[in-house]
A and B are shown apart, each in its own frame.
Chain A
């Protein structure tokens, strides 16, 4: 129970900018220089911090168009945050601080048909790394548009569906 409250407070801190209700704009202050501990979309208007994985993907999708100075600078800056969180907090982030983990915990509580997928243990141990390498590194790095700018597969699907969306609404 204590963990849930901790996650709730962390989620509110991650999304603590209420000024967007008044000025209809995204937060652009100093805290956006810093990565937050956990997954939280940094393009949401209420978001105070940058998402570490989101910015890593952003870095990878634009790796072909950045100048070497920005490339090296942003690489080391992002690496610094990953090391900082890993060395200070480790997996404490996953269970206690991550807003996305909190959302998943809440969704899991909805009583609904759940199918448990079983893999052999030696595959299960490495499944998270396969997901990380495929979705966070390889997709942004190699799925590119005509100008060499990386583009997510989901985004491509979204853009191809947007006509249907405007038709619906």
Chain B
């Protein structure tokens, strides 16, 4: 199990790099700034 931890660190850095390069942070922000249905007034 301990042998894969260095690979997970490398995978983490690659994931962040690819995620930011391909605009993954924009997706996260876009979804996270959306209010839930009751606050958007969709229930009326």
Contacts and interface: CB of A to CB of B under 8 A. Distances in A.
Closest 3 CB pairs of A and B: A73-B22, A77-B19, A77-B24
Interface of B: 5, 8-9, 11-16, 18-25, 27-29, 31-37, 39, 43-44
A74 B5 CA distance: 23
A72 B31 contact: no
Interface of A: 26-28, 32-33, 35, 41-43, 45, 47, 49-51, 54-55, 58-59, 66, 69-70, 72-80, 83-84, 86-87, 155, 158-159, 162, 165-166
B31 A26 contact: no
A76 B34 contact: no
B32 A83 contact: no
A45 B35 CA distance: 8
B23 A70 contact: yes
Contact of B12 (A45, A50, A80): A80
B43 to A, nearest CB: 5
A77 to B, nearest CB: 3
A74 B29 contact: no
B22 to A, nearest CB: 3
A50 B29 CA distance: 8
Given A73-B23, A76-B22, A77-B24, A162 B43 contact: yes
24 contacts: A26-B39, A32-B33, A33-B25, A35-B28, A54-B32, A55-B31, A69-B22, A70-B24, A73-B20, A73-B21, A73-B23, A74-B22, A74-B24, A76-B14, A76-B16, A76-B24, A77-B19, A77-B27, A77-B28, A80-B16, A80-B19, A87-B8, A159-B37, A166-B44
